Amino acid sequence: MKATVILTSLLLICFSCFAQNEYKCYPTNWWTGMKWNKVQVMLHGERIAAKFPMIKMGPAGVKLAPGVNLVMINRVENPNYVFLDLVIDESAKPCKFSFPFLKDINLQYEIKPRRKAKGKDYAQGVTSRDFIYLILPDRFSNGDVSNDRVAGMRDQTLNRDTVFNRHGGDLQGITNHLDYLQNLGVTTLWLNPVWENDMPNRTEHGYAFTDHYKIDPRLGTEKSYQQLIDATHAKGMKIIQDAVYNHVGLYHFTVQDLPMKDWLHQWPAYTNTNFKDQVLFDPYASPVQKKIMADGWFTTQMPDMNQNNPFVANFLIQHALWTVEEFGIDGWRIDTYAYNDLEFMNRCNKALMDEYPQITLFGETWVHGIPNQSFFVQNNYNIPFKSNLQAPTDFQTLWAMQDAMTKDFGWTDGVNNLYTTLAQDFVYKDPMRNVIFLDNHDIARFYSVVGEDMNKYKSSLSWLFTCRGIPEMYYGDELATTGFTTPNDGYVRLDFPGGFPGDKLNKFELSGRTAKDEEIWRHVHALANFRKQSSAITTGKMMQYLPEDGLYVYFRYDALQTVMVVMNTAKTTKTVSFAKYIERTNGFSTATDIVTKKRSGLDDFAIDSYKAVVLELGK
């Protein structure tokens, strides 16, 4: 039977026999013309090491095909694994070959031709010109009911009456609604993970991989994933995928049948990460506590990968490269970035950027504090560790916007926190790459955070689409969806109404939306589509003014356009005078509200409590 993981007071992981008479290669194939041309192929199957004779390697190794040589056979502790080091030189042509020396089995490997010219149709990256829309596939739309349950998988739940079970959303459901997303103004999709999560429960989120090289069959197939990506690109849109390097699911095949004891971080007794990112940069930190932060497990169900093991590192880096080339995605959002080995992450990021110079890499930096967040990305600090990660998910501006909308104005409180947070952008190499957001699949819906106050919510959306950085919106936020993470994070992962058979309302269509839904949808639509054409917002500069008694004003501008944003976070109406901001308003005579399209002169005006306006200034 398969090896199992035994969690007791001591964590013991033991090898046992591999029952399936099946042999697999990871990565499943490679390509000609790749910069990463030294490929380590993991072979997995019952006692596969015994199938390999002792081979004397020549100076160039063993020729497997023209331009393809085997230079090393790596035998490891578990005889169910062998790692083969291949070199694919510049003369290699697309081909298929068998490993000629294997006993009793015919195991083929393929070297494919690469995709089209780099940067033309994939690995395009995202920039401040884009608007990212985050989708949890299981909860967005069910386009293929035939894959709602898949025989043989551990989680057989399908119950939309509870947030704890699967609901049936899939890749086809997303493909079916690309027109809706494009009309809203979305330019880029970000999907929560799509790889197989064959775990016993809570499999809707996708973050516990059990096979890196298999699309979760409840979401679809490799073909349906490719169709979604191709359809997205055909509309001039892009797609970002979730990367998870730090951990895998407990039922991942490399956990159930460990290649070697140090494939995972193991401890004398189960050890959870301490979740304290500070110890990674604290000059006074305890080495033991640093190790617990980086090497402790995320949960008992998510074993921690040992990225200092070179076989693990190759497995993870090659999967990232393979995914981009195989499917043509445009970038990665990297999960739980702070918990990875950071030197490994620099290697992985470099491999991707070397191969795909335009690709975007941004990491989940769920931390508190500007120094904390900026430590994990390209920054201007003179410190020993220098990260090459392009950008963070900007939790600091999120916390600051929450303060602006939920706390009274003070010297450091309320909207002053937002001002101060942005004033510290000097720490980042390029703050325009920061991904800004109001909520996501792990935290409370922002509409609920602000007490379902429409003025506060619309003002926050106005900030999202006009601040520096790349705006990201969580699915359903355009409908003022509600939800808190208590008692469970499933309550912020509700179904998109109209995405599932039998839904009484279809909010993908105007006819299914309430007046409130449509008010927010129109607000997002106006902001997002104006932003697409706005050079000032997407590539211009930013100037902000000190908030006064809750009134906050900033400008986005370049030689072609000036946009003025006014936000009143006070409990009383405020008067706005254009003359007060003469540095940026001089020479203009009109102001057009980009949401209502109302045009007026530059006369003083009143703005109600918690309202915001976005004005394009004209001559």
Q: Worst-scoring range by mean pLDDT, 117-131, 188-202, 430-444, 468-482?
A: 117-131
Place of tokens 């980009």: 594
Per the DSSP assignment, residues forming a β-bridge with 332 are: 241, 361
The correct answer on CATH 3.90.1150.10 for the domain covering 541-618 is no
Range(s) of the chain covered by CATH 3.20.20.80: 132-257+306-532
CA distance 108 to 104: 13
Residue range 62-79, pLDDT digits in tens:
999 999 999 999 999 999
CA geometry: angle 513, 240, 311, nearest 5 deg: 145
- Asked about 364 being catalytic, the answer comes back as yes
Query: How high is the mean pLDDT of the chain?
Result: 95
Cα distances (angstroms) measured from residue 577 to each of 36, 308, 404: 58, 59, 21
User: The sheet that has 360-363: what strands, in order across it?
Assistant: 391-392, 360-363, 331-334, 238-243, 188-191, 132-135, 470-474, 435-437
pTM above 0.85, yes or no: yes
Q: Are 509 and 518 in contact (CB under 8 A)?
A: no
pLDDT at 119: 45
Q: Are 70 and 61 in contact (CB under 8 A)?
A: yes
CA distance 335 to 362: 9
* pLDDT of residue 472 exceeding 90: yes
pLDDT at 52: 87
| DSSP assignment letter at 563 | E
| DSSP assignment letter at 581 | G
Q: How confident is the model at residue 21 (pLDDT cuts 50, 70, 90)?
A: low
- Asked about 22 being catalytic, the answer comes back as no
Q: How confident is the model at residue 104 (pLDDT cuts 50, 70, 90)?
A: confident
Residue range 525-553, pLDDT digits in tens:
999 999 999 999 999 999 999 999 999 99
Residues 452/453/456/459 CA torsion (nearest 10 deg): 90
Q: Which two tokens stand for residue 326?
A: 């195989």
Q: How many alpha carbons lie under 13 Å from residue 619 in its C-beta half-sphere?
A: 3
CA distance 385 to 274: 21
Q: How confident is the model at residue 304 (pLDDT cuts 50, 70, 90)?
A: very high
Q: Tell me what the mean pLDDT of segment 128-141 comes to.
A: 98
Residue range 4-19, pLDDT digits in tens:
343 433 344 444 444 4
Q: How confident is the model at residue 225 (pLDDT cuts 50, 70, 90)?
A: very high
Chain centroid to CA 2: 32
Q: Are 170 and 144 in contact (CB under 8 A)?
A: yes
Residue range 319-341, pLDDT digits in tens:
999 999 999 999 999 999 999 99
Q: Tell me what the mean pLDDT of segment 516-527 comes to.
A: 98
Query: Among residues 170, 216, 325, 335, which one is catalytic?
Result: 335
Assign domain 132-257+306-532 to its CATH superfamily: Glycosidases (3.20.20.80)
pLDDT at 15: 45
* pLDDT of residue 385 exceeding 50: yes
pLDDT at 53: 82
Range(s) of the chain covered by CATH 2.60.40.1180: 541-618
Residue range 146-159, pLDDT digits in tens:
999 999 999 999 99
Range(s) of the chain covered by CATH 2.60.40.10: 5-112
pLDDT at 2: 37
Residues 348/473/122/327 CA torsion (nearest 10 deg): 70
Cα distances (angstroms) measured from residue 155 to each of 34, 201, 593: 38, 6, 50
* pLDDT of residue 58 exceeding 80: no
Q: Classify domain 5-112 by CATH architecture.
A: Sandwich (2.60)
* pLDDT of residue 560 exceeding 80: yes
